[in-house]
Amino acid sequence: MSFDALDIKYHKYLKNSSWTLCLGAGICYDILPSWFQLSHLVTNKTFGLRLSKEDFKKITENVGFSLDSWIQNAFNYHINQGHDKESFLNILEDCLYGDLLDQANKQGLKAPFLKLFFNPKRLKKDEVFSVCDFFEKNYGNSSLVQLVKVLLNEDLNRPEAIIIFNADTLLHALLILFSIKKQYVSSGIYDFPHEPFKKIIYQFQSFGDKIPIFHIHGTIYPPFKKRKRKLDSRHNLIFLESSYADIANSMYTWSQSTFLYYASNTRMVFSGLSMSDPNIRKWMTWSTSSKNSEIELVFHDNEMSIFTKDNIWLKNKPKSKQESDLIEESLLHLGIKIAWIDDWEYFGEALTNMMKT
């Protein structure tokens, strides 16, 4: 069985590259709700409904609104009922983490999980190993756990930065826990090893020589203690339709400036997203158009610029070749080509193949 992302075409593709990894909510597939599942949960909880998955899907298809529009719809109703934004953010939090925390609670791990989101270093030794075992046992083949293990491999050419569009901070938390476990397994020493990554949720944060994990759409996670609730960046969440519009109509926002800097100066590798995000498409169009204009100016070659597709989208392969051909053509103006993966269980292997030095 062959996989485009594993073949010679992409072998060591990122070997000598400065590159940025861009991740969507799909990286936590089956661990946390997808955009569709979250919209469904928030709609039911806010309106007091019991719409089935099939019913909600039928309504969304008939109406044609985007999923962020449905979250906006729930927010509008919530406010019109006399509630405030803070209580709606609590609904979002509950819908995003409720199932995972229930599962952890059944295994006696709810308290460690609340520490995990707030500060992974607060976990005790036995809690670190218990949480790692929880993820390996229940989600060992997930894209998230595969990615954690790939990023902890010091022999690979790791990204210059990671840009995340979802609101959870699981990636950073698991990088810390699994690095502790990795060191303990190899040396027998329990300690906090050097952290190569740093979670960035506000623009005033610095990261020095660490690899930044930018949460440019904001973060939200359960509070370890009630008084600690606002230490995430829930009030900067880009979840509502109006928040997307605010970015589209603003110049030099932190999220836009951060993304465009790395899009202009590094290769971009996308995964866990659909490439339908209007901001990503707009920013990639700007970046690619700017690069193409310079190539045409320097080399006087209008044909050459259209082939400057250095950016990669790691995506599961459609059953139909016609569909895959159509998708590939749709990304031409964004400067993106696709590395197809037949199954997500090969995600870590595919990314490792590209990062080999």
Per the CB < 8 A criterion, the answer to whether 247 and 255 are in contact is: yes
Helix, strand, coil fractions of the chain, as percent rounded to 5: 55, 10, 35
Confidence of residue 103 (pLDDT cuts 50, 70, 90): very high
Please write the tens of the pLDDT for every residue from 296-338. 777 766 555 544 568 999 999 888 889 888 888 888 888 899 9
Stretch among 124-128, 205-209, 323-327, 351-355 having the lowest mean pLDDT: 323-327
CB of 53 within 8 A of CB of 40?
Answer: yes
Tokens standing for 1?
């069985």
Strand stretches in 24-121, DSSP E: none
Q: What average pLDDT score do residues 122-127 get?
A: 94
User: pLDDT of 32-49, one tens digit each?
Assistant: 999 999 999 999 999 999
Average pLDDT over residues 126-146: 97
Q: Cα separation of 179 and 158, whole Å?
A: 15
27, amino acid identity: I
Name the band, by pLDDT with cuts 50, 70 and 90, for residue 126: very high
What pLDDT is recorded for position 205?
A: 93
pLDDT at 1 over 60: no
Please compute the mean of the pLDDT values over residues 138-159 and round it to a whole number: 97
* Of 68-82, 88-102, 148-162, 317-331, minimum mean pLDDT range: 317-331
* Average pLDDT estimate for 43-71: 93
Q: Are 142 and 30 in contact (CB under 8 A)?
A: yes
Is 34:26 a contact under the CB 8 Å cutoff?
Answer: yes
Query: Whole-structure pTM over 0.85, yes or no?
Result: yes
Both structure tokens of 67: 């999923």
pLDDT band at 240 (very low <50, low <70, confident <90, very high): low
The answer, yes or no, to whether residue 179 has pLDDT greater than 90, is: yes
